[in-house]
Copies of this chain bind each other. A is one copy, B any other.
Amino acid sequence: MNFMSDADSAGEPTGSSTAAELAYVEKFAVLLEHMGLVRMHGRVLALLLVCEPPEQSAPDICAALQASKGSINPALRTLTAAALVEKVAKPGHRRDYYRIKSDAWTQIMRTRASRFTPVIEAADEGIATLADSPPGRLDRLREMRDFYRWFDQELPQLIERWEQWQTQNRANE
């Protein structure tokens, strides 16, 4: 609650803490944008990462980010569809609340990896088409395909290793 500008006071936010936090959210959003998320998705995710409490309603987010419903709503829809954010119901109050999922970051990684699949397929196609070409030409395609194929296979195992290590450590806590 303390995040939003319910107090429509000055142009400059009143609480110093709030101002600093918003600047931090903005900074983080830029980093997420550089990681491939679209701008508004980065902003929302950054906010949900540091907000208190963790659950925020769409109007809350609109107010905090000073953005319109028309931009927040599709962003929340996409983030939810991508399994980075989840809808949670709160007993008493408004309708929909959103919260960042704890496995959002591994999920982003998995999604990024899935982008390689079409590349592998396209390479296979090219290799088939150019079957009767100079060997060097095919080698370039094969080299690429083999790497991504291998990576596509290894990454899930890597993430799984993280999750196991993670749960073990949480148990020790």
**Chain B residues in 8 Å Cβ range of A125:** 24
Q: So how many copies of this chain end up in the complex?
A: 2
**Chain B residues in 8 Å Cβ range of A27:** 122
Which applies to chain A's interface (DSSP): helix, strand, loop or mixed?
Answer: helix
Query: B52, B54, B109, B144: which contacts A151 (Cβ < 8 A)?
Result: B109
A49 an interface residue at 8 Å Cβ cutoff? yes
Q: Per-residue 0/1 for A18-57: is the Cβ within 8 Å of any B Cβ (1 yes, 0 no)?
A: 0010001001100110111000000000000110101000
A93 an interface residue at 8 Å Cβ cutoff? no
> Which residue on chain B has the smallest CB distance to residue A130?
B50
> Which residue on chain B has the smallest CB distance to residue A133?
B52
Knowing A24-B129, A129-B20 are in contact, say whether A118-B50 is a contact too (CB < 8 A). Answer: no
Q: Are A140 and B50 in contact (CB under 8 A)?
A: yes
Q: Per-residue 0/1 for A79-122: is the Cβ within 8 Å of any B Cβ (1 yes, 0 no)?
A: 00000000000000000000010101110010000011011001
A141 an interface residue at 8 Å Cβ cutoff? yes
| Contact sample, A vs B, 20 pairs, CB 8 Å cutoff | A20-B129, A24-B122, A24-B126, A27-B122, A28-B122, A28-B126, A34-B115, A34-B118, A35-B116, A49-B140, A50-B126, A50-B137, A50-B141, A54-B140, A100-B140, A102-B143, A104-B144, A109-B151, A150-B165, A154-B158
